Amino acid sequence: MTTDNVQMWKELGIDLKPHDMLMNAMGHMYQEIYLSQDNRPHGMGFFDFVVGDIHGIRVRELREHAINGGKVVATYCVFVPEELVWAAGGIPVGLCAGTQFSVPLADEVLPRNTCALIKSSFGFKLGRICPYVQASHLIVGETTCDGKKKMFELLAEYQPVYVMEVPNKKTPQSRELWLREVIAFKEVIEKLTGNQITAESLSEATDLVNRRRRALQRLYNLRKVRPAPISGKDALLVTQVSFYDDVKRCTQQVNALCDELDKRVAKSEGVAPANALRILISGSPMAIPNWKLHHILETTGVVVICEESCTGTRFFTDLVEPETFLDAQVKSIAERYMNIHCACFTPNDERLDDIVNLAQEYQVDGVIHYNLQFCHTYANEAVRVERRLEEAAIPLLRIETDYSDEDTGQLKTRIEAFLEMIRK
């Protein structure tokens, strides 16, 4: 924790005392969960470095950008079309939070029966312990789920918030609404940044984001191999960091990591034995630093080889189709984002297909459906996921949890029983 950092945090209005506690806790947790792993790819070094200075170097870059007149846009959902922010010269940062630390802060305001992700994210603002949101000029919310939708109304009392309406269905009229929402969002970003988005700048931004998507697709494809060349924990971290790191740099680092993993695959070098059980996790997103389930699983010798979630496949599946003219580009962006198979849509049968297909492509031994407690969309969809996986004879364990340690013992017991059953 450098003096420079402390000065910067002061200027951003950070509440230093609890923030110090958080940074210390993060440091210890990272050591225990990440640095204790064996045979990690060297390419994870960049991500270790980033997390080691998680509220330092990247925040500094955002501040630099702001001092030079640039704008920072905080987002909390993969539906927000970041291409438009990059195209206007802004920097988008994904700020969904995954730590129990900030949850009690939110408990002072939000209803008790709110999911941990919402509470954690809100708590970071309320408690003034997140320099990213402090450095943001605009928060962009969305109407994906009831909890978030209403939380943004309260967040707006602390910082400017603009809410995008994500439809509930995928009819032609729903798609029309979404296109108009994306156009409205474009205008909001242009006004915020003072920069007009052109076909050229949008084409460039789209290409940058697509390249990052391809890099992450490449990373995930490498996890289809047996033995898995990288742990699920590490892959999850890479995805989590890509929500807020510089898009170009992130792409470079992920590709460099994949180059190394290619070599491991050529040598059949894995992070676990070839016969280690392979698990797909599907459901609610796992925001940084939510590593709870991966840690429980991978300390049993299992390897998590895919995440079907917003901090997984739903983040980078599908590229935006390039177009020449601005209107068509915006439409292409809207179409790509409308194709996210989130449980906030009804129906969302495509996700049921996705899970079955991924389970087959990744040669999984079992699927764990993960939803945060009070997450109505994913908790309800789990019912149909269960029926579908039963038809497909794919073993499934349904888990509902939060960010605390209270249920870790129970989870371990249930998971061990599940793994035992799969092994037979």
Per CB under 8 A, residues contacting a second copy are 109-111, 113-114, 143, 145-147, 149-154, 163, 165-169, 171, 173-174, 176-177, 180-181, 184, 343-344, 346-347, 373-374, 376-377, 379-384, 400
What residues contact residue 39 under an 8 Å CB cut-off, 6+ apart? Answer: 269, 271
Helix (H, G, I), strand (E, B) or coil at 306: strand
Provide the edge-to-edge strand list for the sheet that holds 138-142.
91-94, 72-75, 138-142, 161-164
DSSP string, 91-113: EEEE-----GGGHHHHHTTS-SS
Per residue, the 3-state secondary structure of 362-395, as one string, reads CCCCEEEEEEECCCHHHHHHHHHHHHHHHHCCCC
Q: How far is the CB of 379 from a second copy (least distance, A)?
A: 4
Nearer to a second copy, 114 or 231 (CB): 114
Q: CB-wise, 154 or 392, nearer to a second copy?
A: 154
Residue 108 Cβ, how far from a second copy at the closest point, in Å?
Answer: 10
Residue 114 or 239 with smaller CB distance to a second copy: 114
In the complex, the smallest distance separating the C-beta of residue 349 from a second copy, rounded to whole angstroms, is 9
Nearer to a second copy (CB atom), residue 52 or residue 167: 167
Comparing CA positions, the residue from 240, 9, 24, 23 lying closest to residue 128 is: 9
Give the shortest CB-113-to-a second copy separation in angstroms: 6
Please list, in sequence order, all residues whose beta carbon lies within 8 angstroms of the beta carbon of residue 316, skipping any fewer than 6 positions away: 212, 213, 216, 217, 220, 239
Smallest separation, CB 199 to a second copy (Å): 23
Of the CA atoms within 13 Å of residue 296, those in its CB half-sphere come to 20
Smallest gap from residue 101 Cβ to a second copy (A)? 22
N residues, the chain: 424
Read off the amino acid at residue 186.
K
Q: In whole angstroms, how close is the CB of 248 to a second copy at the nearest point?
A: 34
Please check whether residue 311 is in contact with residue 205, taking contact to mean a CB–CB distance below 8 angstroms.
no
Rounded (5°) CA angle 146-18-310: 35
Only one residue has tokens 């509902």, namely 400
Minimum CB–partner distance for residue 163 and a second copy (Å): 6
Angle at 293 between CA 381 and CA 269, to 5 degrees: 115
Which one, 178 or 315, has the nearer CB to a second copy? 178
Indicate the residue among 18 and 167 with the shorter CB distance to a second copy: 167
DSSP assignment letter at 31: I
Least Cβ distance, residue 401 to a second copy (angstroms):
12
Cβ distance to a second copy smaller for residue 174 or 408: 174
Query: Which lies closer to a second copy via its Cβ, residue 169 or residue 248?
Result: 169
Nearest Cα to Cα of residue 362 among 239, 271, 279: 279
Write down the least CB distance from residue 354 to a second copy, Å.
16
Q: Does residue 116 contact residue 307 with C-beta atoms inside 8 Å?
A: no
The pair of structure tokens assigned to 196 is: 């007009």
Minimum CB distance to a second copy smaller for 168 or for 410: 168
Q: Which is nearer to a second copy, 339 or 346 (CB)?
A: 346
